[in-house]
A and B are shown apart, each in its own frame.
Chain A
Amino acid sequence: MIITVAKSDEEVRRALEPYRDIVVIGCGTCATICRTGGEDQVKEMVEKLVGWGKNVLASMVVESPCDVRIDKRDLRRIEDEVEKADALLVMSCGVGVQAVGEASGKKVLAALDTVFLGEVEHIGRFLERCRECGMCVLNETEGLCPMVLCAKGLMNGPCEDMINGKCGVIENDVDCVWVKVWERMKNEGREDAFLRVNPPLDRSVKVGAMKVTW
């Protein structure tokens, strides 16, 4: 799940300043679960925009705005409004914002901040679990992601900030992931695995604008 949080009203308002005729687009998938871009949040946003003196031409929740095909299909229903709009305000993750821009060819603005890829423990509690490193090392680290769960992204922890098994960098009393890795290895009787030096990561894997094609 891609976890999002709402930008402040002030920031959204500032981004919208040059524009008057607006279409608001929500997300029926992740942002609905995060309660940042579902039906209710879109409705609230429309009310806010009206309050700020904007002219809201249309609003809709696209099933998954990150999919250009679905954007094209769903936006057809409000084709004229999209055409007339000065900007589309998209209440989805950054991927959705960009895909809607591509599908519509229009100016798009982001209403949310995309914060992480996380698991959903329950609605209202989302936990970061992956930073899409492109070379998953979970098989070396007992199924615990060091890029995310270690504040320094170390491949051979722990470090000097480990205090009583907790990470002294990450707030809220979080366990040092390297202590957990050790415990899991120990429980499996594989203590020696902890002595292995994991090699440096190949940073060239993530140069940006990656593509997967086949």
Chain B
Amino acid sequence: MELKLKDSLRKGFTLIGQVNSARTVDVNVVVNAVKSMGKVSAVIVSEPQGVLGAANTAVVSGVVKRETGMEVICQLTCRDRNRAALLSDVLAAKMLGVDCFLVTDGSHPKTSDIPQAMAVFDLDSAQLVQMIKHLSEKGETPAGHKAEGQLNLCVGTIAFPAASPIEVEVRRLERMARLGLDFMVTYPTFSIEALNRFQSETKRLDVPVIVGIRMLQDVRDARRLNEDPRVTVPPELIASLEKAETLKGEGKANACLEANLNFFEGFIEAVKSSGFAGCSIHAPGIEQAVSRLVSKLKT
């Protein structure tokens, strides 16, 4: 059986959404966010940044899959789980119909809201990719522990186009590409030039690159994101969000949405013409904006 996501990435430009899990017992927080995203081919269920102990992404992915029927990509990090717990989550997710995993090392607990927690990192992201590929192809872990049933899994990772030195990042990705990495999603990027540079460095790896789009709630959200040294929000986008600050309530929300749509419509077109495999759109707290953006794009 061919996996839908792999198939769709091969066929043409693929739009997917991204939604964070949360520290909640209310599944509707996540499910409604996904439902409001409109026509996307798949959705990434990710871990919220800097927050430990959000509801397990494997379970949430399964719930999203059941409630929406959408293809779900489950983010797994090596931060909190040893190799056995990771295996357990991969199998449980697959049992719930989730085939795709977005694997990262995960940020260190020290930089989270529970800094005292043990940093596990029993496996690292390369070893986890290796484990998932091995499970998928051979029905067992690299250490030879068998798992019953048809696995058929797909695995990607997050790439950092703005990383410096870039040659180290490219080699890190090449190491994973050699393991059979199925796709990469870039960390939020707002610069087509940076993406094109990244593409010229990584084209030879022959792994589809999905560009990470991060929509911005308002100017505060933009400024907060800009504090992350791995992200540069363009000044013109900040300026147009700033203009919206003179308005209130719905007027402000609409003006912010317009600012996002104006920027990203063209940006996604440029991403598409540059030959990227697709975009993953994340709009935390304003998921309905994804639907507006997607409906504006020429398909």
Interfacial residues, chain A to chain B (CB-CB below 8 A)? 151-165, 168-169, 178-179, 182, 191, 194-197, 199-201, 203
Q: In this complex, which of A156, A169, A194, A196 has the most chain B Cβ atoms within 10 angstroms of its Cβ?
A: A156
For A153, the closest partner residue in chain B by CB is: B121
For A151, the closest partner residue in chain B by CB is: B108
Of B165-173, B207-215, B256-264, which stretch is located at the interface? B165-173
How distant is A200 from chain B, measured CB to nearest CB, in Å? 5
The reply on B160 being an interface residue by CB < 8 A is: yes
**A152 lies within 8 A of B121 (CB):** yes
CB pairs A–B below 8 angstroms (14 shown): A151-B119, A154-B124, A156-B126, A157-B105, A158-B172, A160-B104, A165-B164, A165-B168, A182-B167, A191-B171, A200-B122, A200-B127, A200-B143, A201-B122
Chain B interface residue count, CB cutoff 8 Å, equals: 37
**A154 lies within 8 A of B168 (CB):** no
**Number of A-B contacts defined by CB within 8 Å:** 89
Hey, which chain B residues are within 8 Å of A178, CB to CB? 168
How long is the Cα–Cα vector from A192 to B224 in the complex, in angstroms? 38
**B178 lies within 8 A of A159 (CB):** no
Q: Which of B78, B108, B121, B165 contacts A179 (CB 8 A)?
A: B165
**A152 lies within 8 A of B230 (CB):** no
**B121 lies within 8 A of A165 (CB):** no
For B174, the closest partner residue in chain A by CB is: A195
How distant is B86 from chain A, measured CB to nearest CB, in Å? 11
Hey, which chain A residues are within 8 Å of B179, CB to CB? 197
How long is the Cα–Cα vector from A55 to B122 in the complex, in angstroms? 49
How long is the Cα–Cα vector from A200 to B141 in the complex, in angstroms? 12
**A197 lies within 8 A of B127 (CB):** yes
